[in-house]
Structures are given as structure tokens and as C-alpha cells.
Amino acid sequence: MDEFEILKFGIEHSRKLGVTSAEAAYEFERGVSIKVCSGKIEKFEYSLSRGLSIRVLKGNCGGRAYTTDFGMDSVRRASERALEATSVSAPDEHQMICPAEFFPPGASKGKFLGEELAICSGEIDEISEDEKIEFALSLERMAKEFDGRISGVESANYSDSVLDVILMNSNGFKAGYKSSFHYGYLTAIAEERGESQTGFGFTAGRSFASLDPSAAAREASEKAILMLKSKQPESCRVPVLFDNVSSCEIVAVLGAALSAKSVILGRSFLRGRLGEKVASELVNITDDGRLHGGFGTAPFDAEGAKTGETKVFQSGILTSYLHNCYTSSRMGTKTTGNACRASYRSSVEVSPTNLKLRAGKESPDELRSGIGKGFEVIELQGVHVGFDTVSGDVSVGARGRWIEEGKPSYGVREVTIAGTMQEVLGGIKGLGNDPREIPVMGGICSPSILVEGLVLSGK
């Protein structure tokens, strides 16, 4: 019996038990993780995760359960446990199994969708173990060869994974998709006259061939070298230029605040701001679940709703939150195809797919040239606690370089950027032409961002 038949059995058994509607989801993820140091393999691990979840509604009460055993008895018991859970679930009229009106084309045919989205390379099994190990070793080797001040690498890493997702529900959904992911990263160590500093670099893509170990090694090495002889500046209020990686982290914070579930629960600083000007008119942000090759791309979301493009900011105005079926019903709108699950063990939540801040026309050098005195961020530290998505307060550590008369002057460390997300978003006066995508919350893409003036807490 194949996976589609197993899911069908789970739904049919749930219906026989008397549930109003049911959904069955299957995930199978497999991959490898490699870590090297000093030319030797420190870790080589295979991983495999496979499971099935059953979600049911009985009236307005919901319940769910999961199993990693695909025998009929285990699937039957999972359906029964999901039904039992409805007896202790509070009734909520907005709970639902995704209706057919939101399905993507072909979702009822029992086939794998999304081949045109370029999210699965199909090459993982063709790449040998030796090639993957050599990739990790090459990261370390290229970093050491970059500059004589690079004394070593804390670790160089490679990982990949392939994910199969199949979803079926009692409203007629019956489809799946496959995706792949490849990632390489390292931390380089620079030393000079007894001082030691580190720098991080990475490369990621949907295929092994898309990875660029040379660029990752260069990035890590340059960041480590930049921090040699770095110092802490005096506290001040100056323009701040966020590079395209640190700006992605800011956009990711915004992505968490855009979740309609967070808005409903009062855990977002964007609550009640729909239709208002929240950011600079330069800010245009979309979430696109069908972005070609995007890290968060899929033909349908975790509930089966079709993915697509949602404009969340237009010329600085907040135009939409991100929804799943439940939150859209609560707020009287339609799902945006942003339902997600961390795994088959998890409940349905809301998350961005590919959140993208539209790039500008100026290069980072041109943005930098307009700064008389300011700070350029190359790394934010403690983002998960430094940005409060509930209040919008910002107090985050950073390091980077000081700018004088439009040119880099010296490395900067041990500073804190303080303010609010309103100040950051409203103060944007320049966007770079250098967008970069990072594999966070699906995918986040942003260019460099120049903010008019923020408080730096230093000496």
C-alpha cells in the first residue's frame, strides 16, 4: 500500500468514526550532515524522519494525532486518538479543513505537483559521499588560502535534505510535492599580533550545483579580518547601513509580526495598523509562495491551499497580514496560503513563504558614499531577543565598520542598536541593488538598507 492509500485509509476510518471532516498529512525527510575541522571529518551523520498526522473536526471541535508506524492498526489508532482529542477541545466555529475553493489546479488527482517551481533538483542521490566531504573540506581550504591572517576554521559544514510531502483531506484534496535543500557554512578565524576574531559565511541553494564554496569562504574570511583591531565607538545617533544579510534578519522579524495569528493574539506590533503607513515609502514587500526556486516555495501550503503572491507592504503602507484558513476566517478574509507545520508532529501555524523586500537602484558603495559619519552593520547579534515583535522595541547587538566621509574607517564591535521597529522602517532612506536570499522562515530576501538615524550605545 503506497502513501496515498495509507492517507486515504486514515481519512475513511476517521469518517466512519463520525467526524465532520478530516485531513491526513505525510512527511518523509532524509539527508546528511558533515562537519570538518583541520582537514579531518569530525561528524558524518545520516538523518531520516517519517511520519503521518491526522487532523479532524467534530462539529466545531478539533483534534489531532500522529504516528510513525504505517501499519493499518497504527493509522486506525491515530484516527481514534485524534477523535478523542476533540472531546477536550474548546469549540471554535472558525476551525476548518481547507475547502476545495482554495486548492491549486490538479490538487485532486493524486499526483506530485510543483515540478515547474524548481524546488527539487533530484540530484542528491547522485552526489557521492566523497563529493560532499570534499565540499566541506574545500570551504576550510579556501578560507585558509584567502589571506595569511586566516589561521584556521572553527568548523566547515555541509548538509542536504530531501522532503516528500503528501496531503489528503475529506474535501477532495489529494496531492504531494518534493523539495530539496543544500547548505554549506563555515566560521573562519583571523589572527594578528595576538588578537583573534571570527567571521561567518554561507552558501545555500535547491541544488548542489548552485552552491558557491568560494564565495562562502571569502565572506567568512573578510568578516573575520575586518574585525581585527576593531573598537567600540562612543554612543551616538548616526545613519546605519545594514548589509543584505543583517537586513534579511530585520525582514524576518517583520515576517513574524505579519502572522495573522500573532495579530489575533495581540503579539504583534502591527496589530490594528492595516491600511496605515508603517514604513518609508521605499518599502515594498511581497510574500511569494511560488517564487521560482525559492527556499520557501511549494505548490500548496500545509493545509492544501494554493500558494501565491501577497503584497504586504506597498509604498510603506501595510496592506495585508499573512493567513491560514483559521486566521482568515477569524478576520473575515481569505487565506493567503501561509499555513505551515514545523513537522508532522506539529499543529498548523502561520509563516511567510518567500518574503521579499524590493531592491533599489543604488549599489552598497553608493549608499555608503552619502554617509558623512555612520555605522555599517555586517552582523546582528541576539536578533531573537533584540527585536521584540510584540512591542516593536529594538535593542540588538551588532558589529561592523565605522564610516567616515563615505568610506570605511575601522572595524566596530560591542555596540547596541536601540530604538523601535517604527524608527527602523520609517527611517529607511535608501535600498541597495544587492538582494540576497537567506534560508530563514522559508526564504527571506532583502538588499542592503540605509536607515536615516539610529541610536548606537557604545562607550
Domains of the chain: 3-31+47-114 (3.30.2290.10), 124-162+177-226 (3.30.2290.10), 236-457 (no CATH)
Rounded (10°) CA dihedral 255, 259, 263, 269: 0
Give the pLDDT confidence of 300-350 residue by residue, as tens digits: 999 999 999 999 999 999 999 999 999 999 999 999 999 999 999 999 999
Q: What backbone torsions phi and psi does residue 65 show, to the nearest 5 degrees?
A: -155, 165
Distance (Å, whole) CA 264 – CA 382: 26
Distance (Å, whole) CA 322 – CA 320: 7
**pLDDT value at position 123?**
81
Helix (H) or strand (E) holding 72: helix 72-86
Query: What is the SS3 assignment for 127-178?
Result: CCHHHHHHHHHHHHHHHHHHCCCEEEEEEEEEEEEEEEEEEEECCCCEEEEE
Length of the chain: 459
Query: What is the SS3 assignment for 367-430?
Result: HHHCCCEEEEEEEEECHHHHECCCCCEEEEEEEEEEEECCEEEEEEEEEEEEEEHHHHHHCEEE
- Beta-bridge mates of residue 241: 376, 450
Q: What backbone torsions phi and psi does residue 414 show, to the nearest 5 degrees?
A: 55, 50
Helix (H) or strand (E) holding 264: helix 260-264
The end-to-end CA distance of the chain, in Å, is 67
Distance (Å, whole) CA 274 – CA 118: 33
**pLDDT value at position 410?**
95
**pLDDT value at position 384?**
86
Q: Using alpha carbons only, how large is the chain's radius of gyration in Å?
A: 24
Helix (H) or strand (E) holding 219: helix 213-226
In the chain, which stretches have pLDDT less than 70? none
Q: Residues 162-190, buried b or exposed e (16+ Cβ, 10 A)?
A: bbbbbbbbbbebbbbbbbbbbbbbbbbbb
